[in-house]
Amino acid sequence: MIGRSIISATEFGKVAVLMGGRSAEREISLTSGQAVLDALTKQNIDAYKVDVGLDISEQLVSGKFDRAFIILHGRGGEDGEIQGVLESLSIPYTGSDITGAVLSMNKTLSKDLWLQQGLATADFEQVTAGSDADALVARLGLPLIIKPVNEGSSIGMTKVNSASELAKAIEVATEFDAEVIAERWIEGEEYTVGILGQQALTVIQLKTPNEFYDFEAKYQSNTTEYLCPCGLTQQDEILCQKIALDAFNGLRMTGWGRIDFMRDQSGQFYLLEANCIPGMTDHSLVPMAAKEAGLSFDDLVLTILETSMGVKA
Ligand SMILES: Nc1ncnc2c1ncn2[C@@H]1O[C@H](COP(=O)(O)OP(=O)(O)O)[C@@H](O)[C@H]1O
Ligand SMILES: [Mg+2]
């Protein structure tokens, strides 16, 4: 059982809820940020919305904030940039530090580290516009998936079913990031595991009639199903949670986060990627899993805020 906050509201001081930003996930962040702000305000925390722009240092200094709740998604928020700004201003903040953010945002670095730890992740290669499609397909097979390395929310991703579709898919991903990878397609079920402190939360299974859990399935569709409890045997659920925690720690993530998985038809789990600042709308995945563990959305938000005080959840 995860503990509820034992810190009184005034001890947190003046809290900046950092949201928005300039990434492709700006709108999602504003929704998550508003939900966090409402939960903090409801619990008598002196919290303020701060939309992150180029003047963020000035906003933080002139606002005389005591700490920051970072609820930015994607670039500028999950990649170490805002963490660096806050470090330079000596303002404590929630979640992973610069290192954890850098390692979890970059899918190539994450996967390299996981392989070094002996954790399974789908085979992959860096690709460019000039990549030899037939040679790549000979190595990774079909279908495969093309992804920008530093992006989120399935943005810029394409499932490729034939070698002739590869060039277009790489072009699309390159619009979002200079670094692009091709990954072996894992046919099977999809799972995600929220982490709070050093606790892996209840596993959630995601089901979509789309080709994969794309942007539409994540935010717009009403045909996406979330299974929590997820239907795994107890033994497999424990295994999945253990891999998630090892993967989280391997990337030096701290405080909270979420680890995404595929599981193939033989039952093997493959790590997909890590999120150091997952969605926090009232229908997001970490809140859903926390609820199963007996933590309400409000409890969860306070527990995350506590991670800025070095308190272990
Ligand atoms: N190797 C893969 N095999 C099958 N599906 C995949 C694979 N990689 C990604 N996907 C699908 O694409 C979605 C987004 O990929 P993910 O790596 O989690 O990136 P993001 O950071 O955008 O969430 C996943 O939720 C999954 O549905
Ligand atoms: Mg994901």
pLDDT single digits (tens) 259-270 = 999 999 999 999
Q: Which residues contact 99 (CB under 8 A, 6 or more apart)?
A: 80, 252
What average pLDDT score do residues 70-80 get? Answer: 93
Q: Ligand 1: list residues with CB < 6 Å.
A: 122, 145, 152-154, 157, 183-186, 190, 212-213, 260, 262, 272-273
Q: What is the structure's pLDDT at 143?
A: 96
Place of tokens 């303020």: 48
178: Cα separation from own chain's centroid: 20
Catalytic-residue membership of 252: no
Among the ranges 4-8, 93-97, 132-136, 306-310, which has the highest mean pLDDT value?
93-97
| Dist CA 235 CA 238 (whole Å) | 5
Q: What is the structure's pLDDT at 221?
A: 82
Q: Which residue has its alpha carbon closest to ligand 1 atom 25?
A: 213
1 pLDDT more than 60: no
Q: Which ligand has the nearest atom to the CA of 153?
A: 1
Q: What is the structure's pLDDT at 165?
A: 94
| Dist CA 86 CA 76 (whole Å) | 12
Q: What is the structure's pLDDT at 5?
A: 65
Residue 77 pLDDT grade (very low, low, confident, very high; cuts 50, 70, 90): very high
What average pLDDT score do residues 13-24 get? Answer: 95
312 pLDDT more than 60: no
Choose among 195, 204, 207, 201: nearest CA to 230. 204
The residue ranking higher by pLDDT, 90 or 212, is 90
CB 153 within 8 A of CB 182: no
| Dist CA 29 CA 23 (whole Å) | 9
Q: What is the structure's pLDDT at 4?
A: 62
Catalytic-residue membership of 299: no
pLDDT averaged over every residue in the chain: 93
CB 43 within 8 A of CB 92: no
Please tell me the distance between residue 124's alpha carbon and the centre of ligand 1 in angstroms: 13
What average pLDDT score do residues 60-86 get? Answer: 96
Catalytic-residue membership of 184: no
What average pLDDT score do residues 190-218 get? Answer: 93
Catalytic-residue membership of 273: yes
CB 127 within 8 A of CB 181: yes
Range list of β-strands (E), the chain: 14-19, 46-51, 67-70, 124-127, 144-148, 158-160, 180-184, 188-196, 199-200, 204-207, 225-227, 256-264, 269-275
Residue 75 pLDDT grade (very low, low, confident, very high; cuts 50, 70, 90): confident
Q: Domains for the chain: give ranges and CATH numbers.
A: 9-95 (3.40.50.20), 104-120+186-298 (3.30.470.20), 124-184 (3.30.1490.20)
pLDDT single digits (tens) 176-194 = 899 999 999 999 999 999 9
CB 193 within 8 A of CB 201: yes
Alpha-carbon torsion angle 57, 97, 287, 185, nearest 10:
110
Phi, psi for residue 273 in degrees, rounded to 5: -170, 170
Catalytic-residue membership of 153: yes
| pTM, entire model | 0.94
Residue 2 pLDDT grade (very low, low, confident, very high; cuts 50, 70, 90): low
Q: What is the structure's pLDDT at 3?
A: 57
Catalytic residue among 23, 25, 150, 179: 25
Q: What is the structure's pLDDT at 154?
A: 84
Please tell me the distance between residue 14's alpha carbon and the centre of ligand 1 in angstroms: 37
What average pLDDT score do residues 283-288 get? Answer: 93
Q: Which residues contact 283 (CB under 8 A, 6 or more apart)?
A: none
Q: What is the structure's pLDDT at 304?
A: 97
Catalytic residue among 79, 260, 299, 306: 260
Catalytic-residue membership of 260: yes
Catalytic residue among 75, 81, 279, 284: 279
Please tell me the distance between residue 298's alpha carbon and the centre of ligand 2 in angstroms: 24
Catalytic residue among 219, 221, 236, 246: 219
278 pLDDT more than 50: yes
| Dist CA 75 CA 235 (whole Å) | 36
What average pLDDT score do residues 203-211 get? Answer: 93
CB 284 within 8 A of CB 45: no
Choose among 20, 52, 22: nearest CA to 34. 20
Q: Which residue has its alpha carbon closest to ligand 1 atom 1?
A: 185
Please tell me the distance between residue 154's alpha carbon and the centre of ligand 1 in angstroms: 7
